A = this chain, B = another copy of it.
Amino acid sequence: MLTDKFLLKRRRDRLSAEALGALEDALTDVRVVPARQKLVEEDETVTLSTYLVHGFLCRYVDGRGGQRQLVAIHIPGDFVDLHSFPLERIDHQVATMTDVTIASVRHDALNGLMARHPALVRSLWFSTMLDAAISREWIFRLGNLPAIGRVAHFFCELGTRLSIVDLGEGSTFALPLTQMDVADACGLSSEHVNRVLRQLREAQILLFADGRLIMQDWDKAKSIAQFDQGYLYVDGVTD
């Protein structure tokens, strides 16, 4: 099922099998898109939303000087731009980071779906609020953490999110991003990210290379990152 990972461990059980089935059926136009392609342009009026089945996707804002600020990273199970459903227009770019498999839902189909399955409204709204909670944490990361903390926080978040949807084995995660991507997410230069990654590697905290993230010491990483997964709203975890 395409929606296997949708809200996994995040109150997924509040959705009836029927509602989930209806959502699954509304997902059409499953397709593969190659890495590094723009999917949606800023200011576009949007009439459908994208659900990510496989691969990594990002949303970003372009600065004047050609810099790029990532505002979100999406992993399988995420609705990428569901916020465009209430907003109707999008204020940033959406692009693939790796080869991805995506599916689409037409906004008019969503309207019908929600009318028939009221519980779905809450789940979809909740899903967009999860993204918002993650955005807030990114604000904290950028505003309050030094470079090493930002990078550690970024990887703590992604490791945790990947675990939630059962991607990764133990502390090893497939994460085929470049150091430039990490830099764009953390508001740092790629050179500095490189230096920080060396520090983290030498301190045996985490290893990021060859498109793989290995969390060697979660406790130390969380401490440096001031990371607390509460904002990810995992079932049963308040922490």
Contact = CB atoms under 8 A, between A and B. Distances in A.
A91 B140 contact: no
B233 A87 contact: yes
A194 interface: no
A231 interface: yes
A59 B122 CA distance: 23
A234 B91 CA distance: 12
B233 A83 contact: no
Interface of A is mostly: helix
A72 B140 CA distance: 11
B226 A187 contact: no
Interface string A100-136: 0000000000000001001001100110111111011
Across the A-B interface, give the 10 residue pairs with the lowest CB-CB distance, nearest first.
A143-B187, A142-B142, A135-B135, A132-B132, A91-B231, A86-B126, A71-B136, A63-B144, A69-B143, A61-B140
